[in-house]
Amino acid sequence: MRDTELNDLRVTLVQHALAWEDPEDNRRQFESLLDAAAPETDLVLLPEMFTTGFSMNALANAEEPGGATEQWMRAMARKHDCALGGSVAIRSEGQVFNRFLFVTPDITHHYDKRHLFRMAGEHKRYAMGDERVVLEWRGWRIKPEVCYDLRFPVFSRNRNDYDLLLFVANWPAPRAMHWRTLLRARAIENLAAVVGVNRIGSDANGLSYSGDSLAVDARGELIADLEDREALQTVTLDGKALQAYREAFPAHLDADDFHLEL
């Protein structure tokens, strides 16, 4: 699937409760966790809407591009020599997006959530993303996605252009089995590593979250399972093992060609 040798990538999963619609408090809590742990890592992954919780109060919570949270992520990336990923409500061109920010010490990439969770009215409050995004960080090709995107395998299909699929979520506890199953399925069918980070605790709508943040290898085997506890855990994704598995089991060579319309 690629010619260059893939080195290891260290990913830190941060599973934590979120303060409702309180960006300053959430940033403070995550900063304290990261500073205390001081992980040796390449990427820190935070939950979906990690500054507010899954709020439909889009206009009131939205930040401008380059706002306080992006600046904070950049500062943390520089302090810990890594990238930070997580989603935030961002106002852009008169609309609000549930935007995955992937912030390195030098640059910000972003992906706008494509599949909006209509059962909570997200499609009425946020604009739909219209771009499939793959970025590169420390030699790994990475595709970021957000929560409900996980249910749509065509959108996640590996076109031989990524090595790692990321999901950040506020995925409620009653559907935890779906979350856990689909993360492993996306890894198996796409011959890629998958990391999904979900929150814990409860929100102002009375929804509870059981975490279940996972890191999964391309075989579907669990590298990490944070279960339902508050946790910060760093895993190492084995690049050479990923390449060796793809060479030994090249199912991608028999994949159906298709065109994705966004």
Residue 2 lies in a domain: no
Catalytic residue check, 147: yes
Beta-strand pair 95-103/231-237: unpaired
State the SS3 of 25-76: HHHHHHHHHHHHHCCCCCEEECCCCCCCCCCCCHHHHCECCCCHHHHHHHHH
In-domain check, residue 3: no
Q: Which pLDDT tens digit goes with each residue over 162-220?
A: 999 999 999 999 999 999 999 999 999 999 999 999 999 999 999 999 999 999 999 99
Q: What is the pLDDT of residue 215?
A: 99
* Greatest extent of the chain over all pairs of C-alpha atoms, in Å: 51
State how many domains the chain has. 1
Query: Tell me, what amino acid is at 98?
Result: N
225: domain CATH number? 3.60.110.10
228 within a domain of the structure (yes/no)? yes
Mean pLDDT across the chain: 97
Give a yes or no: residue 44 inside a domain.
yes
Which entry of 82, 122, 143, 147 is annotated as an active-site residue?
A: 147
Residue 260 lies in a domain: no
* Average pLDDT value for residue range 72-97: 98
Catalytic residue among 21, 82, 113, 122: 113
Q: Where are the alpha helices (DSSP H) in 62-136?
A: 68-80, 122-125
Which residue is it, tokens 């890894």?
Answer: 187
The answer to whether 73 and 35 have CB atoms below 8 angstroms apart is no
The yes-or-no answer on residue 124 being catalytic is no
With cut-offs at 50, 70 and 90, classify the pLDDT of residue 4: confident
Give the amino acid at 127: A
Query: Which residue out of 21, 48, 122, 145 is catalytically annotated?
Result: 48
Residue numbers of the domain that contains 140: 9-254
Q: Which residues contact 29 (CB under 8 A, 6 or more apart)?
A: 16, 19
Dist. CA 234–CA 8, nearest whole Å: 13
Going across the sheet that includes 140-146, the strands are 135-137, 140-146, 164-169, 193-198, 214-216, 222-225
Is residue 240 flagged as an active site residue?
Answer: no
Q: pLDDT class for 2, splitting at 50, 70, 90?
A: confident
> What is the arithmetic mean of pLDDT over 111-126?
98
Mean pLDDT of 115-137: 98
DSSP 248: H
> pLDDT at residue 68 above 70?
yes
pTM of the entire structure?
0.98
